[in-house]
Amino acid sequence: MNRLWVRLAMAFLAVALLAVAGVAVVVNRATESSFRNYVGRQNILGGNPNLPAALEAHYATSGTWAGAEALLPGQRGTEGMGRGVGEGQGQGAVQGRGGEGPGYLLADARGMILVANAEADIQRPLSEDERDRALALVVDGRTVGYLSRAGIEAQAMDRAEQRFLDEVSDALALAAIGATVLALLLALGLAWALLRPLRALRQSSEAITRGDLGAQTPVTGPTEYRTVAEAFNQMSAALAESTALRQRMTSDIAHELRAPVSVMRAQLEAMLDGVFPMSADQLAIVYDETLHLGRLIEDLRTLTRAEAGRLPLNLAPVNPAALAQRMSTEFLPLAQDQQIALDTAIAPDLPAIQADDDRLRQVFSNLLANALAHTPVGGRITVSAQRRGARVRFGVTDTGPGLSPEQAAHVFERFYRTDDARQRDQGGSGLGLAITHELVRLHGGQITVESAPDTGSTFAFEIPIAPGASPATPNGPAS
C-alpha cells in the first residue's frame, strides 16, 4: 500500500466507486419513485384520466365541494358539511350514491374526507400514507383538496410492475460493476503511465549512485515530467563535469607541487651528499623554487576565495582610459625587451567604471603577461578600451599562434596550458586566466576570448559603468 501506483489506483477507484454508487442510488430511487407515482396515479384515476381536471373546474366554479359526488361514481357524501368540516361551510351536504368495491375518497384542503363509499370513512382525516398517495387538486395555485381511492394503501403492485423495478435495479447493479471494473483498469493504466517517467528517473539516479556520473534520463511525458527530467539531466551533467574538474584540479595541483618540491629535494640532497657545493648559486635555485611555491599557493588561495565569493572588492569609480594607458606603460619595457610592439586604442570620453582598481590591474597584468608569453619576436600587442552600452569593454589583442576552438573553450580553467613545457619553464602557475575570469565575474562583468589558429587572440572583458558616471579624460587619474 506504500507504493505510489497502488495509492493512485486506489484513489481513482475510490472516486469512481463513489461516483457510480451515487449515480446508481439516485437513479434507482428516482426511477422507483417516479414509477410508483405513475402506477399510483393510474390506480387512483382508473378509467377516468380527466377526473382531477373536472373536480378542479367544479371547485373553481362553485367555490365548494358540495355536489362533487356527482362526478365521483359510487360514492357516499357527508351529511352536515355545514358543521365546518369541508371548505363549503354552510353549503348543502355532499351525497354519495353508494356502490361496491373500493371507491374514491375526496378530502378538503385540510385532508378531511368529504366523500367516501363507507360511512366510517366520512369526516375522518386522511392518514399520512393516504395523503402521500393522494392527488392534490389545485385551483389558482392553491391546493383545495385531495383525491384518493379507498383501500389503495393496501393495494400492492402486481408482479409485472415489481419485476420492472427489479430489472431496473439489476441493470443498475450490472452497470455499476462494469463501471467499477473499467475504472480499475483505467486507474491502473493511468498510474502506470504517470509513474513510467519516475521509474526511468529512479534508474538514472541509481546509476549515479553506482558511480556512473552524467547518467541521463529520457525526456518524455507531460510538461511537468519533462521539466523535471531536463533539470535532472542538467544536474547530472554538471555533477559529472564538476567531479571531473575536481579530479583534474587535484591532479594538476599535485603535479604543480611535485615539480618544485622535487627540484628542492634534489638540490638539497646533492648539497648534503657533497655532489654540489653549498654555495649561493645552489641555494638560489632552492630559493627560486620556494618563491614559485609561494606564488602557486597564493594564486590558489585567491582563486578559491574568488570562486566562493569571499574575495573583498574595494569598489570605487575608476577612469578606464587612464587604467588602460597606465598598464600599457608599465608593460612597455618588457615588450621592448622581447622586441614586441605594444600599442593602445583607447576611445575618448569614456565614463568611469565601478571597480576595484588593484584587482583590475591584476586582470590587466595577467592578460598582458599571457600575451607577451605567446607573441613571437616582431609581433604586436594592442590594448583597447571603448564603450559598449552600459559597460566599458577592454581588450588585449596579440599576434601569437592563436587558439583552436577546443583550447579557447578551456583556456579559463585551472592549470590549463596550451604549451605546458614553456609555461612551466617560465614559472607560470597556470592559474592566471582562471583568476582573471573570476575577478571579472566578481565585478559583474564577463570575459571572452576570440581566437583562431595563426591569427592571434583577443581577450576582452566588460565592466559596468559607475552609477551617474560622467565622461573622463583619457589621460586623467586612474581612480
CA dihedral 323, 329, 332, 333 (to 10 degrees): -130
pLDDT at 462: 95
Q: What 3-state class would DSSP assign to 344?
A: strand
- Residue 450 half-sphere exposure toward CB, CA atoms < 13 A: 6
Rg of the chain on CA atoms, in Å: 52
Q: Is the Cα dihedral 50, 51, 53, 58 positive or negative?
A: positive
For 349-363, what is the mean pLDDT?
92
Indicate whether 291 pLDDT > 90.
no
The answer to which of 166-170, 221-225, 329-333, 349-353 has the lowest mean pLDDT is 221-225
Q: How many percent of the chain have pLDDT more than 90? A: 21
Q: How far apart are CA 302 and CA 299, in angstroms?
A: 5
User: In this structure, what DSSP letter does residue 142 have?
Assistant: E
Q: How far apart are CA 449 and CA 403, in angstroms?
A: 9
For 111-127, what is the mean pLDDT?
74
Indicate whether 133 pLDDT > 50.
yes
Domain ranges of the chain: 46-154, 223-307, 316-472
Residues with Cβ within 8 Å of residue 246, at least 6 apart in sequence = none
Q: Is the Cα dihedral 331, 332, 336, 341 positive or negative?
A: positive
pLDDT at 154: 41
Indicate whether 43 pLDDT > 70.
no
Which range of 22-31, 208-217, 251-260, 448-457 scores highest in mean pLDDT? It is 448-457
- At 459, the pLDDT band (50, 70, 90 cuts) reads very high
Closest to 447 (Cα-Cα) out of 432, 430, 460, 463: 460
Query: Which residue is listed with cell 383545495?
Result: 144
pLDDT at 356: 92
CB 381 within 8 A of CB 375: yes
CATH class of the domain defined by 316-472: alpha beta
Indicate whether 479 pLDDT > 50.
no
Indicate whether 409 pLDDT > 90.
no
Q: How far apart are CA 381 and CA 243, in angstroms?
A: 37
CB 435 within 8 A of CB 322: no
3-state secondary structure 75-91: CEECCCHHHCCCCCCCC
Q: What 3-state class would DSSP assign to 355?
A: strand
Question: CB atoms < 10 A from the CB of 474, how many?
Answer: 18
For 429-440, what is the mean pLDDT?
84
Q: How far apart are CA 65 and CA 63, in angstroms?
A: 7
Indicate whether 82 pLDDT > 50.
no
Which one-letter amino acid corresponds to residue 104? Y
At the second CATH level, the architecture of 223-307 is Orthogonal Bundle (1.10)
